[in-house]
């Protein structure tokens, strides 16, 4: 087997970001040809990325990219919060969000094919990052919001909010964005609540009220009251104001001559069922593999 110098190993490591032993092995298999070693690593990296795709990426970050009159929220997933804080992951996520905004697309398949730089696409850069970091990484979804006045807020890495607001101060816009992050409203006001969701909620409230056995007139009041309680909880203007719970958001907006037009809120991992590891089964599998 070809002997390779420490200098060559270091050069390959610097160019690929892989571990020393992986670089040494790749160079030995390539007969000391660093370019061939890189080609082989890229090939194995593709295989590694495909293998990693079976792992659930339920952690990650929400990125907000802002432009003239619009903003884009992007969710990029990984498997652990440790990687979510990694500078390579962060740089990738920020660049992809910027590219998606500049190219005016929220379609994940289209984002994957955008030019990333150095002759590669976003998808190729993602695969290379999977190889480098060793975790499944996925560009999951993107949302765009437009408006003359946009207020953005990120709560850590996991929640991102952009609010389109007319009137009011910058402070109020920021506070409303924080409100949306904390209370996760379904809609700005009652008229914006989707009819199917409202109908489903009414059916549930009605069934519970009828089970009470109370007179019909009382049941009707219970249904009306229950539905209003639900609407107060899920509509932004009816929620208690995050800065002063004695006030409603709608009252604060009115006093500031402000109106919320719309908002977008993304939270990492929404709708993803994270895999529950069975430690005993994992140990048993490892023991069985050792005996094989």
Query: Highest-confidence range of 3-7, 43-47, 160-164, 216-220, by mean pLDDT?
Result: 160-164
Residues of the chain with CATH 1.10.8.10: 6-52
pLDDT (mean) for 71-75: 99
As a whole number of angstroms, the distance between CA 144 and CA 235 comes to 21
More confidently predicted of 51 and 183: 183
Question: In Å, how far are 48, 89, 97, 169 from 122, measured between CA atoms?
Answer: 17, 13, 11, 38
* Assigned architecture for domain 6-52: Orthogonal Bundle (1.10)
Residues of the chain with CATH 3.30.479.20: 54-146
Do the beta carbons of residue 112 and residue 125 sit within 8 Å?
no
As a whole number of angstroms, the distance between CA 181 and CA 43 comes to 42
pLDDT (mean) for 128-144: 94
As a whole number of angstroms, the distance between CA 250 and CA 260 comes to 9
Question: Is the model's pLDDT at 278 over the cut of 60?
Answer: no
Residue 34, pLDDT score: 85
Do the beta carbons of residue 13 and residue 26 sit within 8 Å?
no
Do the beta carbons of residue 150 and residue 67 sit within 8 Å?
no
Question: Is the model's pLDDT at 6 over the cut of 90?
Answer: no
User: Domain 54-146's class?
Assistant: alpha beta
Do the beta carbons of residue 26 and residue 12 sit within 8 Å?
yes
Residue 48, pLDDT score: 54
pLDDT in tens, 14-29: 777 777 888 888 899 9
More confidently predicted of 151 and 272: 151
Question: Is the model's pLDDT at 283 over the cut of 70?
Answer: no
pLDDT band of residue 118 (cuts 50, 70, 90) is confident
As a whole number of angstroms, the distance between CA 115 and CA 109 comes to 13
pLDDT (mean) for 156-166: 97
pLDDT in tens, 210-269: 888 889 999 899 999 999 999 999 999 999 998 899 999 999 999 999 999 999 999 998
pLDDT band of residue 91 (cuts 50, 70, 90) is very high
């Amino acid at each position: 087997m070809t002997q390779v110098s420490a200098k060559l190993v270091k050069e390959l490591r610097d160019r690929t970001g892989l571990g020393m032993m992986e670089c040494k092995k790749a160079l030995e298999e390539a007969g000391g040809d660093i370019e061939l070693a890189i080609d082989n690593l890229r090939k194995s990296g593709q295989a590694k990325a495909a293998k990693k795709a079976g792992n659930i990426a339920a952690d990650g970050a929400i990125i907000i990219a802002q432009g003239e009159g619009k903003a884009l929220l992007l969710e990029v997933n990984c498997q652990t919060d440790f990687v979510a804080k990694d500078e390579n992951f962060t740089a990738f996520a920020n660049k992809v969000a910027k590219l998606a905004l500049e190219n005016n697309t929220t379609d994940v398949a289209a984002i994957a094919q955008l030019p990333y730089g150095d002759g590669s696409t976003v998808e190729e850069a993602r695969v290379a990052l999977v190889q480098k970091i060793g975790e499944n990484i996925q560009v999951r979804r993107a949302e765009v919001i437009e408006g003359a006045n946009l207020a953005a807020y990120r709560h850590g890495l996991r929640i991102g909010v952009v609010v389109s607001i007319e009137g009011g101060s910058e402070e109020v816009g920021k506070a409303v964005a924080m409100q949306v992050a904390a209370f996760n409203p379904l809609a700005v006001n009652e008229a914006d609540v989707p009819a199917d969701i409202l109908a489903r909620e009414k059916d549930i409230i009605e069934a519970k009220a009828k089970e009470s056995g109370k007179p019909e007139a009382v049941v009707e009041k219970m249904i009306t009251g229950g539905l209003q309680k639900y609407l107060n909880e899920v509509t932004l203007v009816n929620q208690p104001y995050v800065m002063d719970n004695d006030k409603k958001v709608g009252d604060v907006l009115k006093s500031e001559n402000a109106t919320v037009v719309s908002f977008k809120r993304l939270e990492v991992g929404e709708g993803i069922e994270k895999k529950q590891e069975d430690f005993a089964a994992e140990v048993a599998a490892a023991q069985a593999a050792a005996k094989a």
